[in-house]
Amino acid sequence: MGKKAALFLQSAKQVGGLMAMAVRYNGKEPDKRKGASQEEYALPFEGAWTVVNGGVDKETSHSWGVLTQRYAYDFVVLDDEGRNCPPDADPADPASYYCYGLPVLAPADGVVAEVGTSCPNAQIMLDETVHFGGGDIRGNYVLIDHGNDEFSCLCHLRPGGVLVEAGRHVQRGQRVGFCGSSGCSSHPHLHFHIQKGQSFYTSPGVPVRFAGVAAAPAPNYAAADPRPVPPAAYDDFPPFLTRGLRVEPSGGE
């Protein structure tokens, strides 16, 4: 199947899934007051990264209208000037980005339910449009079953960057892959969400309760993202994250 056909098929499945979830939940989808994750999750990486998409309200949501990704997060590494790669680097080269190739970790104990391993990196378009790289919008990904019908989805891993296979037991903090830019990706980043069910198409996302996290507003964040962050959004931490925060594992983890 060609890339365009694969993208059309996945888009159709997403639309069908949205319709099914609308009927199932009838306006009572999970939210931060009723339906947040039962598990407390660790950050799926080492060191300091910045949230550039995501939050638990409509104003900060990654994709409010797409229920599976409503509470998703996109993480990148930014320097203190708000750049995602050095100023003298080639922005068209995925390897130029600070986060590219960094380890991706299991956010909690679980069993690998699915992996995707066949996607190349997407071409980086300097106008910030998204180029579809491969046959799956998730790119190379790892889906982990943590019990209680909660599955973590870690997406856009680099080609050859998936370290586990379906059926393998993993522990919190274990390396499962490496950050990349495969699938529907504008530039290297880690997409992370928790969904209530295994299906990418019919499982709603749930607000992620994080634990063991140190967070503060990222310096010069506006250089990376001109969208204002509602001041009240920072009040959701802990346990919820929002775009504009620089986050890293706290000393206790």
Average pLDDT of span 117-137? 83
pLDDT in tens, 52-85: 999 999 999 999 989 999 999 999 999 999 999 9
| Residue-range domain boundaries for the chain | 3-47+63-211
Cα–Cα distance measured from residue 20 to residue 90, given in angstroms and rounded to the nearest whole number? 44
Decide if domain 3-47+63-211 falls under CATH 2.70.70.10.
Answer: yes
pLDDT of 133: 66
Given CA atoms 172, 176, 178, 184 in this order, what sign does their dihedral have?
A: negative
pTM equals 0.92
pLDDT of 9: 73
pLDDT confidence bin for 2, thresholds 50/70/90: low
In percent, how much of the chain has pLDDT > 90?
77
pLDDT top residue among 14 and 217: 217
